[in-house]
Structure 1
Amino acid sequence: MSEEKLSKFEGVKEQSNFLRGSIGEELLNADPTFSEDNAGLLKFHGTYQQDNRDARGGKPKEYSFMVRSRVPGGKVTPEQFLAHLDICEEFANGTLRVTDRQAFQLHGVLKTDLKSAIRGINESKLSTIAACGDVCRNFMCCPAPQKNNPVHDQMQKLADAMADHFRPKSLAYYEIWLKDGENSELVHQVVDEPIYGKTYLPRKFKMGVTLPEDNCIDVYTQDLGLIAVVEGDTIVGYNMVVGGGMGMTPAKKDTFPAVGKRMTYVTPEQVIPVAEAVVKVQRDFGNRADRKHARMKYLIAEWGLPKFKAKVEEYYGAALPEPHPTDVTNVDDHIGWHEQGDGKLFLGINIENGRLKDEGPLQLKAAFRELLAKFPFPLRLTALQGIILCDVEPKDKPEIESILRKHGVKLAHELTLIRRYSIACPALPTCGLAVTESERVLPAIMDELEATLDQYGLKEDRIAVHMTGCPNGCARPYTPDIGLVGKARGKYTLYLGGNAEGTRLGFIFQDMVPEQGISTILSPIFAQYRDQRQDGESFGDFCHRVGKDSLARAEAVAAT
């Protein structure tokens, strides 16, 4: 690709001196914002420049920053969890968000507090580097803390190894955010990027590992996913899935969401070198002219999987076999009490849309502060924006439940499955890409859907609902049973026919659906599902089987 065809940001990256730009200098000025070029580079450091869209209306923009922590496999110590609660209260808007990629997000951080917030996260022994930007993002892994279980141990070790291997090596992060004075000792001596090069990747790159019977990290939505192949109590290899990605741009008809394709089977020893070959193929051949067409799914769509695999083999230096027959079969949200495998328990707690805050009768931050003061549990973050308490002694179960109830936190048996399997992106007021609401309206929509399901005797059914405020798809809305994608102010594209297991894309059932009309449109379809489903058939599988036309006829009859 000739240089004159490159997008502007490719030049910014190349001239940035490995992500430094002039971020350090701009941190010192009184402007509440960074320049456009530095704002782009800041993403590699784990932060997005945003403004409060609720406060626009002709007034000067109120700028702040989202700061995202990188938490491989969702593993968090109690000290790290409490540190993030402290940081959100001291430097952010008082809330902490669990993301759908098993990480933490702070919102509302002012530029004057940005360095303090990032340093505080690093002092807790987490980091924000590569949480955003054109690099390999937070590596996802099943968070279930199963003990005396070699399979789960292998997956978590792989998550740590992959996160470390694909972490950017530039000294820029240390120098800008962590270094004290000119005489501080450098923590790394490598100053180039052996995997990424000077211009890093064409676009973001997402990775994760899953079990066939528990695809809780939505492996088919990743740029590179690994499905464990288990024999006995050992992972003997992985099916490597490539080319997933949820984002699309409606104005560009050549953009689309995609589920990944199973490319090959790799042994545990091959995972990192083959993954590196995949990343380097995307680095060298991904589209650097059009950022909206730069994810690896578009390269694979253009080339076809056989050509892409051949190029990966060339970079890897050897032929790769066909995939193993193993594939995804189920999913678990890990909510509720579970045996941990060592005589202890773990407890998955649903955090609606991932937002930890103290508001009205629901005092989530206070609940976790009291719990962790009394019981310093290790924790895990889930891809459905939940939190797992690990290493619970059975004798402490009643007191833990009492603390949660005191703070208004519902236990698993008090929640419907449709609410447990629902997630939303932040959208308004902080996200600059959002065209409408998501996180702030989904709870009320879920209230209506629960009432409608109860009307048809379906309240116990597992139905996954994912909602986003725009088509970029951060909450993976194109693969669940029901997807709601912001299209215009207060209106959504309604997708049906995916599944909770995340193995296929849904189809557009109706466009420009008003927020208040979602449950009305779905009501006759729920009735049809109740009356015509096959034994054991999920809602998404039913919609996929009968098709859009049949569902539309039922909806049309109900509307007359």
Structure 2
Amino acid sequence: MNLDMALAASSSSLFAGSLAGLSLNPDPVTRVPIDRTIGAPLRISCVGGGSQVRSTATATPATPTKRSQVEIFKEHSNFLRYPLNEDLLNENANVSEASTQIIKFHGSYQQYDREVKQSRNYSFMLRTKQPAGKVTNQLYLAMDELADEFGIGSLRLTTRQTFQLHGVLKKNLKTVMSTVIRNMGSTLGACGDLNRNVMAPPVPYHDKPEYVHAVETAEKIAALLAPQAGAYYDMWVDGEKIMSAEPPDVTEARNTNINGTNFENCPEPIYGVQFLPRKFKVAVTVPGDNSIDLFTNDVGIVVIMDDEGELEGFNLYVGGGMGRTHRIQNTFPRLSEPLGFVPKEDILYAVKAIVATQRDYGRRDERRYSRLKYLIDDWGIEKFKLVTEQYYGRTFHPVRDLPPWEFKSYLGWGEQGDGRLFYGLHVENGRIKGELKKTLREIIETYNLSVRISANQNLILCDIRQAWKSKINKSLAAIGVQLPRSIDPLNVTALACPALPLCPLAITEAERGAPAILERIRASMKKVGLGSKQPLVVRFTGCPNGCTRPYMAELGLVGDGPNSYQLWVGGTTNQTRLAQTFMEKVKVQELEKVFEPLFHYWKTERSHEDESFGDFAMRVGLETLKNYVQTFEGLPKKKKGGPKIINVNKDLYEALGKMAEAEGTSVTNLATKVLSSYVDSAPTAQ
């Protein structure tokens, strides 16, 4: 197929043959004719085939749209091979600028230790791709060994339910990558301009079908949107295809071309040569369970069961995303909004249609504005729905009503529903190291456990027999692991990204600074009279990209310069409302000057004791909060002296004690009542 033919085919409005093999609903649906005049899509055509395919790109309309440098790198990469395949062979410790972008698609970022000033000691961070956070026993043990042999001796659990392995040298990349692959893992698509890890609740319920469907759907979407051109296996395991076969319905959905969702005769039928404008994030959950921050994703999916407990379909939400740039107002965090409901047999086609819409209409000239959220914000949800329906070939039904959302940590012991147990382990900032790393390996290896990673950077040990419970408890207690009830609620919900010293985007500390700042937050809360168990959702990032989703926190600390943070307030405990910018460039050493008045105001002016800080902040308004902080003169000083002790004889005290017991009060309260009555009735002294 030549370029003109490919373009003509992509804009065809004919449905003949395009729905072949697609399972359709028995109920009448509206077919929407394709209309390419709605926008000015960058429609990239794919020409040729085979492992050495030559690719060309063009734009519609005839005047080419300006594209960023990364788009040019992708176009000339021969489907994610070049020049990375050449750069890996030289003796340099780093790779070229083009390869730095291309290796992201393979699941790696080039980094260097920013605290080493003499020279750049380059290394690579590897991120795995674990749909629903599922990790086999074999893969966990392999990652544990790789961290010691080729990394910095620790494993990092991410906020998207994956591993990160830091400190891998370029000369060891192939060894590490191939080890991951041969142990049934993958890093393909963990980074780069394509679908990232697909999230789902990490709890291993076997007796709750909605959770089982959520995990299965996450796995299928991950398979559907995985790169297909083979560069990953060519480069890291010499072309050997190790992964198991995918479900037939995934293959069918990928290959079915509806109104230009596919590039015909192309190694990448969905992505083409250009892939997506930016990263693309998907999450799947069940009604009421917001353990995965559903509304922060490009696509959020909710499993809908019918009255008989059978899978009926899915609600779809689109347009979420956290990334932004400080003091550039047209960059912003955004929550996803309802797109519609689709029947169960259509979910893969609907997701593919959303991806195609972003692929063809998302901005490729300026990466800052290339996320799906900006397309939807520009178009509005109705126009976006119309265009997506053209690729989907159907109209969306209205979303189904849902119960209120709740954050679930899944810490502690629970039943899987298959006779076995799981244990949710709190991991501070997601960093597994030292004695914890050693003990976890012993437990996981001894009992042949699988694990799951949560979106709150915690680890869930799965498939535990009842007889092993006490031994596991003893092993964890021996290294000081706290029971969930003993963990400060601030730590249970806190998130922090790695930030300094390795992340090239970090402006200030996050992971390393979070523990001390959390202690200072708790001290400030106690100082104003809030209890030691008062919950508050706090999240830290070293830069405004928002990897830990700080814009959903009740109190978000976002890197805003050396040793300073931008503060965001007003999120909710169940992650359903955006926070708002409160103060900028607050120095880390001056945080108490903000924390104490904020918490004092919250303590004294709450509408009720259970009013959360986020709800309180939004109720009184940010300007009122800011004015209170700026005019705060310190906590009220305690009055010197106090009530004097009044001595009474033993008989009188015992008599008061009996009277107090009869009235169900204390001796002090009774004595105060009696004396007050006497004083009130006594004649005024002259």
User: Match for 1:488 among 558, 561, 566?
Assistant: 561
Tell whether 2:523 aligns with 1:451: yes
Matched residue SS, 2:629: helix
Larger mean Cα displacement after TM superposition, 166-175 or 252-261: 252-261
User: Match for 2:611 among 537, 556, 559?
Assistant: 537
Report Cα offsets for 1:399-440 as digits up to 9, x if no partner.
212111222322212201111100111111111111111111
User: Cα gap change, 1:227/1:535 in structure 2, threshold over 3 Å: closer, same or farther?
Assistant: farther
Matched residue SS, 2:160: coil
Matched residue SS, 1:92: coil
Task: Write 1 or 2 for the structure with the bigger share of strand.
Answer: 1
Q: Is the 8 A contact 1:239 1:326 kept in 2?
A: no
Aligned to 1:19: 80
Trace 1:93-132 onto structure 2 (pairs within 5 A). Answer: 93-132=152-191
Aligned to 2:215: 156
Aligned to 1:417: 489
Q: Which has the larger radius of gyration?
A: 2
Larger mean Cα displacement after TM superposition, 379-388 or 459-468: 459-468
Report Cα offsets for 1:137-189 as digits up to 9, x if no partner.
00000011112211111111111111111111011111111117xxx679899
User: Match for 2:126 among 55, 58, 67?
Assistant: 67
| Cα distance, 1:260 vs structure 2 | 0.8
Show structure 1 runs of 5+ residues with no match.
none
Tell whether 2:113 aligns with 1:52: yes
Larger mean Cα displacement after TM superposition, 188-197 or 221-230: 188-197
CA distance in 2, matches of 1:27, 1:82: 27
User: Match for 2:70 among 2, 6, 9?
Assistant: 9
Q: Is the 8 A contact 1:240 1:265 kept in 2?
A: yes
Matched residue SS, 1:478: helix
Q: Is the 8 A contact 1:227 1:238 kept in 2?
A: yes
Tell whether 2:573 aligns with 1:500: yes
Matched residue SS, 1:3: coil
Q: State the one-letter code of the partner of 1:132.
A: C
User: Cα gap change, 1:84/1:186 in structure 2, threshold over 3 Å: closer, same or farther?
Assistant: closer
Aligned to 1:253: 329
Q: State the one-letter code of the partner of 1:461.
A: Q
Q: Is the 8 A contact 2:211 2:285 kept in 1?
A: no
CA distance in 1, matches of 2:595, 2:311: 41
Aligned to 2:98: 37
CA distance in 1, matches of 2:524, 2:404: 30
| Cα distance, 1:9 vs structure 2 | 1.3
Aligned to 2:18: none
Q: Is the 8 A contact 2:457 2:495 kept in 1?
A: yes
Q: State the one-letter code of the partner of 2:68.
A: S
User: Match for 1:470 among 528, 539, 543?
Assistant: 543
Trace 1:276-315 onto structure 2 (pairs within 5 A). Answer: 276-315=352-391
| Cα distance, 1:106 vs structure 2 | 0.6
CA distance in 2, matches of 1:297, 1:106: 30
Aligned to 2:204: 145
Q: State the one-letter code of the partner of 2:589.
A: Q
Aligned to 1:391: 463
Q: Is the 8 A contact 1:169 1:191 kept in 2?
A: no
Larger mean Cα displacement after TM superposition, 342-351 or 10-19: 342-351
Aligned to 2:230: 171
Aligned to 2:269: 194
CA distance in 2, matches of 1:516, 1:341: 49
| Cα distance, 1:376 vs structure 2 | 1.8
CA distance in 1, matches of 2:73, 2:164: 26
CA distance in 2, matches of 1:490, 1:33: 29
Matched residue SS, 1:266: strand
Aligned to 2:628: 554
**TM-score, normalised on structure 2?**
0.78
CA distance in 1, matches of 2:149, 2:266: 34
Matched residue SS, 1:130: coil
What's the % identity of the aligned pairs?
39
Q: Is the 8 A contact 2:151 2:167 kept in 1?
A: yes
| Cα distance, 1:228 vs structure 2 | 2.6
CA distance in 1, matches of 2:583, 2:517: 17
Report Cα offsets for 1:293-336 as digits up to 9, x if no partner.
10000000111110000000111111112222226521111111
Tell whether 2:577 aligns with 1:516: no
Q: State the one-letter code of the partner of 2:417.
A: G
Q: Is the 8 A contact 1:436 1:491 kept in 2?
A: yes
CA distance in 2, matches of 1:254, 1:497: 20
Larger mean Cα displacement after TM superposition, 346-355 or 227-236: 227-236
Larger mean Cα displacement after TM superposition, 30-39 or 512-521: 512-521
**TM-score, normalised on structure 1?**
0.95
Structural RMSD (CA): 1.9
CA distance in 1, matches of 2:436, 2:352: 40
Q: Is the 8 A contact 1:226 1:238 kept in 2?
A: yes
Matched residue SS, 1:398: helix
User: Cα gap change, 1:191/1:81 in structure 2, threshold over 3 Å: closer, same or farther?
Assistant: farther
Tell whether 2:435 aligns with 1:374: no
Report Cα offsets for 1:333-357 as digits up to 9, x if no partner.
1111223223432111111111111
Q: State the one-letter code of the partner of 1:73.
A: A
Report Cα offsets for 1:57-85 as digits up to 9, x if no partner.
xx111100000010010011122111101
Show structure 2 runs of 5+ residues with no match.
1-41, 43-62, 246-250, 252-264, 635-686
Larger mean Cα displacement after TM superposition, 22-31 or 227-236: 227-236
